[in-house]
Amino acid sequence: QKEVEQNSGPLSVPEGAIASLNCTYSDRGSQSFFWYRQYSGKSPELIMFIYSNGDKEDGRFTAQLNKASQYVSLLIRDSQPSDSATYLCAVSGYSTLTFGKGTMLLVSP
């Protein structure tokens, strides 16, 4: 059974700080990795994807991938209260994505 593990949180950071969200996965054959943001009562929204080892930056977001350690992370710079949400890590499998339970992020003004 493929597993994706995330700390459920909540992770609390002050406004303007860097938020670091982490994810580990069990399937060494996974090739694609995704971060989704989900506001309470809403559906998941894709915010980042990464396929290769290293860092990928998009605005205030940086995704980091280490396949050897089976570890994916998401950094959010200059965190804003509007970033308060649950962040879901998703890992590719055979034609589907397996999701973690998500980490709740709370950004205080």
Partner 1 sequence: DTGVSQDPRHKITKRGQNVTFRCDPISEHNRLYWYRQTLGQGPEFLTYFQNEAQLEKSRLLSDRFSAERPKGSFSTLEIQRTEQGDSAMYLCASSLVAPTGVDEKLFFGSGTQLSVL
Phi and psi at residue 36, to the nearest 5°: -115, 145
3-class secondary structure, 69: coil
Q: Which stretch binds partner 1 (CB under 8 A): 52-60, 61-69, 72-80, 91-99?
A: 91-99
Instruction: Identify which of residues 64 and 86 has a Cβ nearer to partner 1 in the complex.
Output: 86
CA atoms within a 13 Å half-sphere pointing along the CA-CB vector of 69: 11
Joined together, the tokens standing for residue 104 give 């709740």
Q: What is the pattern of x (binds partner 1, CB under 8 A) and - over residues 41-80? A: -xxxxx--x-------------------------------
User: From the list 50, 72, 88, 105, which residue makes contact with partner 1 (rule: CB under 8 A)?
Assistant: 88
Q: Is 102 in the site for partner 1 (CB under 8 A)?
A: yes
Contact criterion met (CB below 8 Å) for 109 and 82 = no
